[in-house]
Structure 1
């Protein structure tokens, strides 16, 4: 599930692997994106860390945030919660 561009032809690399260690940032869902989007990040870390953060929030607050993962893919809070339930999610027992 890695969605960052490969070094060949600049096209997204398709694989069946979730890149839990990819760079990611937590954003307000309504921050408007734009050219200064990178500066609007609330928190940065790995994709797995951002998922853990969203899951740790009270359920009624989660929808206020999205995760922007390397490769310009945005994940909703609902998607983050579902990903945290996967058997291959890091640190899951």
Structure 2
């Protein structure tokens, strides 16, 4: 779960495991994405912070949000809850 791969000096930069300090932002699940998607973020920070924020919402509201992680990965409720349940989750 890292940013898109780099070719800096032709060295593989992919790291194993969850990169909890990657950039991420919370968006409304149905925000339509589009050209101004970056401006539609409700809150931004690290992936760990955004997972903790979504998990702080009541369970019935968690599906209203997604997390967009650096590298164009969009996490929905099931993936967010799975990350929060991991033993290495720093939140």
Q: Distance in 2 between matches of 1:37 and 1:13?
A: 27
Q: Distance in 1 between matches of 2:47 and 2:76?
A: 13
- Report the RMSD for the aligned CA atoms in angstroms: 1.8
Residue in 2 that maps onto 1:67: 67
Correspondence 1:49-88 to 2 at 5 A: 49-88=49-88
Say whether the 8 Å CA contact 1:25–1:68 is kept in structure 2: yes
Q: Distance in 1 between matches of 2:86 and 2:30?
A: 27
Unaligned runs of 5+ in 2: none
Residue in 1 that maps onto 2:42: 42
Residue in 1 that maps onto 2:17: 17
Say whether the 8 Å CA contact 1:4–1:13 is kept in structure 2: no
Say whether the 8 Å CA contact 1:63–1:76 is kept in structure 2: yes
Going by fraction, where is helix more abundant, 1 or 2?
Answer: 2
Q: Deviations over 1:3-49 (max 9, x none)?
A: 423134xxx95442211000000000000000100000000000000
Shift of 1:78: 1.7
